[in-house]
Structure 1
């Protein structure tokens, strides 16, 4: 998908040959053989053994094949987390088809766009979303049929009916090669329309191996994994990894994230690993259930999707112990760029703690910090984080323009800014799109956010740049007070920061909200914060800053300082 075909170019005089690889659905066959009677999936009061799961997947694959689905066809899946969504992943793999899951929180028109963008022939839609089914049917010329997941009235038939009609059928895994697509991983669309990152069988086999080696070494069928995020994205990759080791997957009983129920399941099933994002981990750590349940079975709490603020990190370590694992990676690299293992998560800010790092390069992967011209920068110089290695995706589906922007000299450009120290630890400064320039100086919001969160009354914060007639852009901070904390004013917070943040980095306004807007994956995209600021009529107010006596300086002082700063 990047414009090259590695299977046809001779290397060193070798004759080009097929690079056949294991079909990922073979993981189920392995589990049915070795762990057939062990539980592989738990949802509410129901559970399924690996032998039963393999049988359901084979029956569903047979039903899809009977309906005309063949290798390379795309199967769109719009569903809440449930058993049949999990089966659909492996049924698609088994046929050599492409699994195209969506975030179930998307609107009907958004799912319709994903259907047309992927060219899906089949749509497996949860019964709670009849409007989505109608929108996809109306918008997708390639769509041939819709089947229902769970209860409801939409579609030709339900997946349970399809599985029952082909019970006992055995479908052999389709032969696949390294670059054969298995999954269209749609980006969250932080800029423009979502794009389909093409994940392949060969790539994902490396990802599974790498996750086991770098994120959760020693994982076996005696472990257990709790799902607290949609299986359509990072959690789905994580559960694929669990399948490779015969680990039972445990779902929350409903799509609502009930923290008390999550801790109850951890205690009941002796859960040993969880994949989550910093926002959800923070919520779990601050919930009373963390103190009244037994979570001593946890060995790996893997968090990704955004950097975790240092204060939140320390709170989690103090409550849960040294079980945190951070990784940095985008959907296009399936989470395989860096890792910060438990032993490097230090709860104390001592001289040996590498505060702010997202870790070092994953096994088999290489990171380069590059300038705008593609030149590799020196240690501690800030640039774009770029990566090469087997975990990098094949490219965006049917999008040569996006591919041309995403790759440079073979390196995948993440769009994230950061630097690397002399030991190879990577530090993320922020998204390139989040950085703003004020009076000629580059401002990286994350640096300021870290300082704001050291205030005992502030639980969450988002800093972003907005237009300003004098300085070009200025920073504003949207803060969420901690529950039970006393009142905080703009003057209070600015005074608190006066000795911690240089004047040119000081936000010009502080707003206090009850909550920050979050995406369907628990992240806080700056575009959503900006949209909310605009809807509240606050984007035209930053120049009305608080008194300069708290450390912002006069315009004359700042003009001189900015001139010096810009060199």
Structure 2
């Protein structure tokens, strides 16, 4: 293949492992990672990941091979990440909340050739070994009764061995990012070295401008997914990453670490950000070092947004994106997060298009619609993934006229700010009219004493479907169904009004920390609340 100049077209790009190599060379003694009392410099972190790569290579793992990793947050999942990249192999991280059968499915779907599994999940190791009898390597993270080696032993065995960084081209896969699978089986979105280099650059440009080795990042979300992408940006700039010491999220410890390490950025989701700012420890520790508190994964309700701004000031950053676009769709920077309602606050907007990304609102035929008109959100640009692995049917459904179809519904204003109205799959039709739960939820959260809410559509003989609201009252508060419905009456069209309101202690969450309508509906069925009387 040749270019317009007659010269061969070169698609060579830097292997993502090059980010670590460059930083380790430039900042060898700078703190890279802290986890409890343990510390690793960039030199040490690169040496360990290189040694692990050498041992994986000695066991026949090479370019294009898939390395499945089932691990809790810690240095091991990060060392496995860069060892895999270095070989030109493909990282396949799983969420540790998945059960053994689910992980075995991911192993089969990805065609994994190696499995690195945390020692506390022996049933997962057994399930994967049974699903893939030809597995070249099963290793435990920590001492365990399964596998042929521990990860630490592999690092020791590979210490000092040469293991050059594999050449990479733009479309070479580096990461299988499995979707959460809220509808049907999870699908492996193929992320590539060239695409991810753009994503890292774009994150630094749009989410954390000015990040350097003087910054530090607190890890409060699973490194198997969005937090792992965020970690790559810290590696690229040489900023240290600080991990929570425990297995469970601890808001008090998080604020202690923010003060102790002068944390300047963190990646989180609205649920965790809400927990952080509502915890008393936010007022007990100095958090003036924070510059960027980034939240993604779901829109943040306006009332929660206001509370976070009152506690932290203008440091919160929102971005909208999917695993298939690795977060790179929109950004709402700190300056556009207004505590006061008004036009300048861009209430309800998830921001404007990221640098180098194009967004279009489309009708059912794929035609662009006018500003202010609702449609499906389509996206194009270098951050869009290469497609789903071994799934031509899903690829055919997800791309149209060169646009990736997000499945999200929204509209765009004249200035290019995007407003998400919900997932196409969350919408329900009551009496012939479309109802978008997000709109109803935003209003319900304005009622006193409500911490969280989820509205789902359920079957109804007369109207086809009706809405049901599940609320979580704030601690010490109680919310009467009749009072809430009376308050809503007159504030929204009658067809949008929930038929019933149920109060629960908590809403169910997926392994990714998200509140999904599918799980709420399943929990309602389990509690005998459906069908409605």
TM-score, normalised to structure 2's length? 0.99
- Asked if structure 1 preserves the Cα contact closer than 8 Å seen for 2:407 and 2:423, the reply is yes
Offset at 1:14?
A: 5.0
Equivalent residue for 1:445?
437
In structure 1, the residue matched to 2:503 is 512
Q: Which residues of structure 2 form unaligned runs of 5+? A: none
**Helix, strand or coil: the match of 2:338?**
coil
Q: How does 1:7-26 map to 2 (within 5 A)?
A: 12=4, 14=6, 17-26=9-18
Q: Which residue of structure 2 aligns with residue 205 of structure 1?
A: 197
Residue 355 of structure 2 corresponds to 363
Instruction: Give distance in 1, aligned partners of 2:4 and 2:437.
Output: 48
Measure how far apart 1:456 and its partner are.
Answer: 1.6
The residue number in structure 1 matching 2:160 is 168
Q: Deviations over 1:481-521 (max 9, x none)?
A: 01122x22111001111232221111111000000001122
Aligned to 1:498: 489
Structure 2 counterpart of 1:334: 326
**Corresponding residue number in structure 2 for 1:131:** 123
C-alpha distance in 1 between matches for 2:442 and 2:134: 48
Name the SS of the counterpart of 1:508 in structure 2.
strand
Q: Distance in 2 between matches of 1:351 and 1:388?
A: 28
Query: In 1, distance between residues paired with 2:400 and 2:495?
Result: 34
Aligned ranges 1:172-183 → 2 under 5 Å: 172-183=164-175
Q: Secondary structure at the match of 2:379?
A: strand
Show CA shifts across 1:433-487 (max 9, x none): 00001111110000000000001211000001111111110001000001122x2
Aligned to 2:454: 462
Q: Deviations over 1:271-296 (max 9, x none)?
A: 11110100111111111111111111
- 2:82 matched to which residue of 1? 90
Kept after mapping to 1: 8 A contact 2:329/2:357: yes
Structure-1 residue corresponding to 2:269 = 277
Matched, 1:114 2:70: no
- Contact conserved, 1:119 with 1:143, CA < 8 A, in 2? no
Question: Is the contact made by 1:203 and 1:391 (CA closer than 8 Å) also made in structure 2?
Answer: yes
SS at match of 2:498: coil
Q: Which residue of 1 aligns with 2:406?
A: 414
Tell me, in whole angstroms, the C-alpha distance in 2 between the residues paired with 1:262 and 1:379: 42
User: Gapped runs of 5+ residues in structure 1?
Assistant: 1-7, 545-567
Counterpart of 1:320?
Answer: 312
Any idea what the Cα deviations from partners look like across 1:57-82, whole Å, max 9, x if unmatched? 11001000001111000000000011
Shift in Å, 1:43: 0.5
SS at match of 1:255: coil
Distance in 2 between residues matched to 1:209 and 1:262, nearest whole Å:
27
Distance 1:116 1:33, change over 3 A: same
**Are 2:531 and 1:540 aligned?**
yes
Q: Deviation at 1:142? A: 4.0
State how far apart, in whole Å, the 1-side matches of 2:425 and 2:291 are.
Answer: 35
Distance 1:251 1:152 in 2: 24
TM-score by length of 1: 0.93
Correspondence for 2:420 among 411, 428, 453: 428
The answer for the alignment partner of 1:76 in structure 2 is 68
Show structure 1 runs of 4+ deviating over 4 A. 10-16
Matched, 1:286 2:278: yes
Check conservation: 1:119, 1:142, Cα contact below 8 A.
Answer: no
Tell me which residue corresponds to 1:557.
none
2:468 alignment partner in structure 1: 476
Shift of 1:154: 2.0
Measure, in 1, the Cα distance between the counterparts of 2:202 and 2:425: 29
RMSD of aligned alpha carbons: 1.1
In structure 2, what is the Cα distance between the partners aligned to 1:457 and 1:170?
61
Greater CA drift, 11-20 or 74-83: 11-20
- How far off is 1:522 after superposition? 1.6
Which residue of structure 1 aligns with residue 289 of structure 2? 297
Structure 2: how far apart are the matches of 1:12 and 1:376? 32
For 1:166 and 1:540, locate their aligned partners in 2 and report how far apart those are by CA, in whole Å.
59
One of 381, 390, 406 as aligned partner of 2:382: 390
Aligned 8 A contact 2:469 2:501 in 1: yes
Q: 1:488 aligns to what?
A: 479
Contact 2:324–2:385 (8 Å) recurs in 1: yes
Question: In structure 2, what is the equivalent of residue 565 of structure 1?
Answer: none
Give the number of equivalent residue pairs. 533
